[in-house]
Structure 1
């Protein structure tokens, strides 16, 4: 039995598909309101902030994957993430279950320096502090021998389905609808993005590789990094239309944050868009040379093919348009 804690999100759904097809169909999906990905999936409703419920959810599991995502709300993160991590560590320790933690890069320095598994944490902002805290909590438990675990760390997402990120909502979703992209701060800095199905496949591979445990792994990305301007160019070429973009300056984010809680919560992430973001995954590529990474160009073309261009029209679940999102009044350069 392998168990996914925090099912239903895009990463967990893709992970369930990988595990079912390549490892075992004996899967348990755990969340407050879990839904099956396959007919054979076992469902368990549980609140992971409840220690007893978490212990019951992990019972009889060889491996548990902690993939929980929470809305961008600092107070919620501070209340729930530490409790979830403590309960998951305790549950895995009690049952002798291996733990695979899906981590992010919020706690890394927001500089242009290359990020490796050894990059020290320098959290800036409430959510970054929480992420540093829970990752350190797990690392301390690993070092103490309390749990056999592995940390899988990913940069910003882009991808299909319900993938949530600034890149998807403000740029790729809009482009797929035939609308201008809304690019934060600078259109010409290199971005490190991970295709969500690749992130899930790589995590499933690491979780089922015995000698990967006790370590942190950066998950694989296309190393031919693109700028947002180049992403718009690739998207435009895939549909044969010059889509263009607008650059959103920091001052307009500051103004928008006064009225929009979502913009305010995203504010602590903005510094990483001022310069290149260089996430290195050489360790993974060296250990798993057979793993095929989806190129940015292939991923973008797939997303553009999945879109339904209707200039001026927004669909449910996309980023707000210019009426509610701060943006530069003049168009940015077109590709």
Structure 2
């Protein structure tokens, strides 16, 4: 396959993308802002070429993309700085085009869909975000898709639900795993009985690499429904059960988040996205399955087992 660079490589998904490429015994490039974090994650991998970048400097983007065929873009920003998403994508496209990159594969989210109008959401569902974060992620997608339409670069988007799995520290379930290991009470954002989907991080990495090699994915966005419909409560009970502790939690609803937001910027930012806990966006990935024939879906029980093993090893 063509040379791939992972932009935003030190996050959980970036590491999973790298693992998927490594499994093919192919060389790849990892890009991030922190050399120390890159060295810690990939310093022992002879297949990995490590490079740092400044996404606000065109020459730095060009250097990071030089000699690369495909960029898998999993760059994250702080939850209170979503206005950066469209601008960072514009700058990345400019540098990538100058460097001769053929394709960008973007890791997307459910945010651009806004409040769902159907029980399950397919790709043709209107993208009508009512939140600031949703509008900025839609704008990011539009920037990339317009570049594809203009023939400047090929674009593919994979929209995924919340994450579960090793290293997914920004997942709603991360605190549950850590509390379960200690047998303490978890703090959860609720309601927690609402239907929900989670994607196992390594499955997402494999899919991004597969889409990077699929010509028929050009100019299209695809949903990935993860490992199926469940709920936060169901998974939390399974997690506690796997640690032989009784499930116990303090559940924070929208009003509680507002109060907690007075002292916690992260909780304050969660308020506008709380609709996802009452009006969930449940993705339909029929189009993705039809394109690829099959998609990886690690069972939730296996995902829980592997995540707990990683956390125990880390401790």
Cα shift at 1:206: 0.8
* Alignment pair present for 1:137 and 2:143: yes
TM-score normalised over the length of structure 1? 0.84
- Aligned equivalent of 1:70: 77
Q: Which moved more, 1:250-259 or 1:30-39?
A: 30-39
Match of 1:47 in 2: 54
Residue in structure 2 matched with residue 292 of structure 1 by the alignment: 296
Q: Secondary structure at the match of 1:186?
A: coil
Give yes or no for contact 1:194–1:220 (8 Å, CA) kept in 2: yes
Distance 2:262 2:298 in 1: 38
- Aligned positions of 1:67-146 closer than 5 A: 67-74=74-81, 77-78=82-83, 80-94=84-98, 95-111=100-116, 113-146=119-152
**Alignment match, 2:5:** 3
Alignment of 1:216-231 (within 5 A): 216-223=221-228, 225-231=229-235
Distance 1:124 1:164 in 2: 26
1:279 matched residue in structure 2: 283
**1:178 aligned partner:** 183
* TM-score, normalisation: structure 2: 0.89
| Structure 1 counterpart of 2:19 | 17
Contact 2:93 2:144 in 1 (8 A): yes
Counterpart in the other structure of 2:160: 154
2:197 paired with 1:192: yes
What CA distance in whole angstroms lies between the structure 1 residues aligned with 2:310 and 2:22? 25
Q: C-alpha deviations, 1:194-253, integer Å up to 9, x for none?
A: 111111111111111222222111235112x21122112222332333223232222211
Q: For 2:281 and 2:181, locate their aligned partners in 1 and report how far apart those are by CA, in whole Å.
A: 24
Paired position in structure 2 for 1:33:
34
Describe the superposition over 1:87-144 as per-residue Cα deviations: whole angstroms up to 9, x where unpaired.
2222333314211111112222234732222222222332222111111111111122
Structure 2: runs of 5 or more not aligned: none
* Alpha-carbon spacing, 1:182–1:7, altered in 2? closer, same or farther (3 Å): same
Residue 256 of structure 2: aligned partner: 252
Q: Which residue number in structure 2 is paired with residue 333 of structure 1?
A: none
The residue number in structure 2 matching 1:237 is 241
Q: Aligned partners of 1:3 and 1:41: how far apart in 2?
A: 10
Contact 1:232 1:245 in 2 (8 A): no
- The Cα RMSD (Å) is 2.2
Where structure 1 has 5 or more consecutive residues not aligned to the other structure, the ranges are 309-314, 317-335
Shift of 1:305: 4.1
| Corresponding pairs, count | 304
Distance (Å, rounded) in 1 between the aligned partners of 2:115 and 2:261: 20
2:110·2:281 contact (CA, 8 Å) conserved in 1?
Answer: no
Give, in whole Å, the separation in 1 of the partners of 2:213 and 2:146: 22
